[in-house]
Amino acid sequence: MSSEVIVGIDLGTTNSAVGVVESGFPILLADEEGRRLLPSAVWYGKEEEVEVGWTAKRRLALGGVVTSIKRLMGQEARAEEVSAEILKKLKRIAEHRLEQPISKAVITVPAYFNEAQRGATKRAGELAGLEVVRLLSEPTAAALAYGLGKMGELQRVAVYDLGGGTFDVSILEMREGQFEVQSTAGDTRLGGDDFDRLLASMVLGDDWEKGRDSLESARVMEEAERVKVTLSEQETATFRLPFLASGPVEKEISRREFEAGLTDFLKKTEACCRRAMADAGLEPAGIDAVVLAGGSTRVPAVREKVEAIFQRKVEEGVDPDESVGLGAAIQAGIISGAVREVVLLDVTPLSLGIETVGGLMNVIIPRNTTIPCKAGEMFTNAAAGQRSMRLRVLQGERELAGDNWELGAVEVPFEAEGKGQARVGVQFSLDANGMLEVLARDTKTGVDTVLTIETAAVDVTDERVEQMVSESVEHAFADMRARVFTEAKLKAEELLNSLEPALALAGEDLEEGELSAIRAAEARVRKEIEGGASNGPLLKAAVEELDQASERLAALVVEKAMGL
Q: Cα Rg for the chain, rounded, in angstroms? A: 33
What's the full length of the chain, in residues?
A: 564
Nearer to ligand AMP, 228 or 305 (CB): 228
Q: How far is the CB of 292 from ligand AMP (least distance, A)?
A: 10
- Output DSSP code: residue 173: E
Nearer to ligand AMP, 298 or 483 (CB): 298
Q: Is 449 a residue that touches ligand AMP (CB under 6 A)? A: no
Measured CA to CA, the distance from residue 10 to residue 37 in angstroms comes to 10
- Which of 5, 6, 7, 15 binds ligand AMP (CB under 6 A)? It is 15
Q: Is 194 a residue that touches ligand AMP (CB under 6 A)? A: no
Separation of CA 544 from chain center: 44
Q: Is 36 a residue that touches ligand AMP (CB under 6 A)? A: no
Q: Is 140 a residue that touches ligand AMP (CB under 6 A)? A: no
Closest CA to 293 of 367, 404, 435, 186: 186
From edge to edge, which strands make up the β-sheet containing 436-442? 373-379, 424-430, 436-442, 447-453
* Active-site residue identified among 31, 51, 85, 138: 138
Q: Is 298 a residue that touches ligand AMP (CB under 6 A)? A: yes
Closest CA to 412 of 393, 435, 431: 393
Nearer to ligand AMP, 218 or 533 (CB): 218
Q: How far is the CB of 332 from ligand AMP (least distance, A)?
A: 19
3, 21 contact by CB (below 8 A): no
Cβ neighbors of 153 (< 8 A, separation 6 or more) are 174
Q: Is 550 a residue that touches ligand AMP (CB under 6 A)? A: no
Measured CA to CA, the distance from residue 383 to residue 227 in angstroms comes to 81
Q: Which stretch binds ligand AMP (CB under 6 A): 145-153, 186-194, 277-285, 485-493?
A: 186-194
Nearer to ligand AMP, 165 or 353 (CB): 165
CA distances in angstroms from 495 to 80, 380, 549, listed in the order given: 66, 18, 11
Measured CA to CA, the distance from residue 289 to residue 195 in angstroms comes to 27
141-144-147 Cα angle (round to 5): 160
221, 326 contact by CB (below 8 A): no
Q: Is 294 a residue that touches ligand AMP (CB under 6 A)? A: yes
Q: How far is the CB of 206 from ligand AMP (least distance, A)?
A: 20
Q: Is 404 a residue that touches ligand AMP (CB under 6 A)? A: no
174, 155 contact by CB (below 8 A): yes
Q: Is 296 a residue that touches ligand AMP (CB under 6 A)? A: yes
73, 83 contact by CB (below 8 A): yes
- Which of 26, 110, 125, 164 binds ligand AMP (CB under 6 A)? It is 164
Nearer to ligand AMP, 21 or 292 (CB): 292
Q: Which stretch binds ligand AMP (CB under 6 A): 41-49, 96-104, 191-199, 542-550?
A: 191-199
Told to judge if 10 belongs to the known catalytic residues of this protein, a careful annotator would answer yes
Q: Is 295 a residue that touches ligand AMP (CB under 6 A)? A: yes
Q: Is 353 a residue that touches ligand AMP (CB under 6 A)? A: no
Nearer to ligand AMP, 149 or 163 (CB): 163
Q: Is 192 a residue that touches ligand AMP (CB under 6 A)? A: yes
Nearer to ligand AMP, 117 or 296 (CB): 296
Q: Is 149 a residue that touches ligand AMP (CB under 6 A)? A: no
- Output DSSP code: residue 344: B
- Which of 5, 8, 9, 12 binds ligand AMP (CB under 6 A)? It is 12
Beta strands in 358-490 (DSSP E): 360-365, 373-379, 388-395, 405-413, 424-430, 436-442, 447-453
Q: Is 333 a residue that touches ligand AMP (CB under 6 A)? A: no
* Active-site residue identified among 161, 259, 346, 528: 161
Measured CA to CA, the distance from residue 99 to residue 373 in angstroms comes to 29
Nearer to ligand AMP, 192 or 396 (CB): 192
Q: Is 163 a residue that touches ligand AMP (CB under 6 A)? A: yes
Measured CA to CA, the distance from residue 220 to residue 226 in angstroms comes to 10
Measured CA to CA, the distance from residue 57 to residue 53 in angstroms comes to 6
- Which of 225, 346, 355, 397 binds ligand AMP (CB under 6 A)? It is 225
Q: Is 47 helix (H, G, I), strand (E, B) or coil?
A: coil
* DSSP track, 21-60: EETTEEEEPP-TTS---EE-EEEE-TTS-EEETHHHHHTG
- Which of 121, 232, 535, 550 binds ligand AMP (CB under 6 A)? It is 232
Q: Is 228 a residue that touches ligand AMP (CB under 6 A)? A: yes
Nearer to ligand AMP, 167 or 414 (CB): 167
Measured CA to CA, the distance from residue 263 to residue 241 in angstroms comes to 27
* Active-site residue identified among 31, 51, 57, 70: 70
Please report the sign of the dihedral spanned by the C-alpha atoms of residue 465, residue 470, residue 471, residue 473: positive
Nearer to ligand AMP, 323 or 535 (CB): 323
Q: Is 200 helix (H, G, I), strand (E, B) or coil?
A: helix
Q: How far is the CB of 166 from ligand AMP (least distance, A)?
A: 8
Q: Is 321 a residue that touches ligand AMP (CB under 6 A)? A: yes
Q: Is 269 a residue that touches ligand AMP (CB under 6 A)? A: no
Q: How far is the CB of 225 from ligand AMP (least distance, A)?
A: 5
Nearer to ligand AMP, 41 or 529 (CB): 41
Measured CA to CA, the distance from residue 279 to residue 515 in angstroms comes to 84
Told to judge if 161 belongs to the known catalytic residues of this protein, a careful annotator would answer yes
What are the percentages of helix, strand and coil residues in the chain, rounded to 5?
A: 40, 25, 30
Measured CA to CA, the distance from residue 536 to residue 520 in angstroms comes to 19
Decide the pairing of beta strands 289-293 and 156-162.
parallel
Using CB under 6 A as the binding criterion, the count of chain residues that bind ligand AMP stands at: 19
Told to judge if 70 belongs to the known catalytic residues of this protein, a careful annotator would answer yes
Q: How far is the CB of 403 from ligand AMP (least distance, A)?
A: 51
Q: How far is the CB of 120 from ligand AMP (least distance, A)?
A: 19
Which spans of this chain sit near ligand AMP (rule: CB under 6 A)?
12-15, 163-164, 191-193, 225, 228-229, 232, 294-296, 298-299, 321
Q: What residues act catalytically?
A: 10, 70, 138, 161
